[in-house]
Amino acid sequence: MIVMKDECLICSAPLEYLAEDVLMECGICHAREMSKTRCVNGHYVCNECHTKGIDAIVGLCMNESSDNPLQIVGRMMDMPQCHMHGPEHHVMVGVALLAAYKNAGGNIELTKALLEMYSRGKSVPGGACGFWGACGAGLSAGMYMAIVTESTPLAVQAWGLSNRMTSRALGAIGAVGGPRCCKRDSYLAIDEAVKFTAEALDVHLDLNTIQCTRSAQNNQCIRHRCPFYPGKTV
């Protein structure tokens, strides 16, 4: 069992990550479901409650004019609904990329695409990075590519592009190593997605260098190992 400091949304106590699922009851909505994550005081917050209010990002993206997904996701991270870590990032990466893709000239119906990304991203639970071996931010980049290419399980080129996108994002995330940081992993996934979108689709999204301003909020910050730690740039 691994214990992390100051993470519970209810009491700010450390979280503990169990080796196996156990039945837990959400301290907010009282839904009962299987999970591996709770705080040391026994509080559990379900994914639905953890991401409550994050649907506001759809409205933000509809009104965006930027073609820079790092800038767009940064504005989402400033919203009160976005926590330091959590499954909301599994939606945020994809919708930021979709908005930037549209603004860069990509041919998509943005509202429909954003709502589909919201639905798909919310299906990836918190902790997938450690328990599934697939960070939700990386999966979100793959979902973005699947949506813009209209991929299905029977598609040929789009199927390949979507899986290659996920592979690229997860490769970059895995190369840095853990423990997880939802901000770092989101930046890495977006960086790879912008590069791959240019290569595969010839749509050129803008990028800027990032310096993290949230390291003090992250109890597990890897500091100088992180490419976005203050004093380092990508």
Alpha-carbon distance values, 225 to 62, 125, 175, 216 (Å): 35, 26, 11, 15
pLDDT band at residue 187, thresholds of 50, 70 and 90? very high
Q: What pLDDT digit, counting tens, does each position of 116-174 carry?
A: 999 999 999 999 999 999 999 999 999 999 999 999 999 999 999 999 999 999 999 99
Q: Which residues are bridge partners to 25 per DSSP?
A: 32
Task: Give the pLDDT score at 194.
Answer: 98
Mean pLDDT computed over every residue of the chain: 91
pLDDT of residue 45: 87
The interaxial angle of helices 157-176 and 136-148, nearest 10 deg, is 160
Rounded CA separation 140/95 (Å): 9
Cross-strand bridge partners of residue 39? 15
Query: ω before 69 within 30° of 0 (cis)?
Result: no
Pairs from 227-233 (Cβ < 8 Å, separation ≥ 24):
227/176, 227/184, 227/188, 228/183, 228/184, 228/187, 233/209
User: What is residue 93's DSSP assignment?
Assistant: H
Paired residues of 44 in beta bridges: 26
What's at 141, amino acid-wise? A
* Per-residue pLDDT tens digits for 3-40: 445 578 778 788 888 888 999 999 888 999 999 888 89
Q: Which pTM was predicted?
A: 0.84
Delimit the domains of the chain by residue range: 2-48, 54-225
How far is Cα 44 from Cα 46, in angstroms, rounded to an integer?
Answer: 6
- Stated as kind and residue range, the H or E segment containing 19 is strand 15-25
pLDDT of residue 4: 46
Stretch among 49-58, 150-159, 187-196 having the lowest mean pLDDT: 49-58
Distance between CA atoms of residues 202 and 182, nearest Å = 28
| pLDDT reported for residue 232 | 64
In this predicted structure, the answer to whether residue 233 has a pLDDT above a threshold of 80 is no
Residues of the chain with pLDDT > 70, as a percent, come to: 96
pLDDT at 7: 75
Region 211-225: mean pLDDT is 92
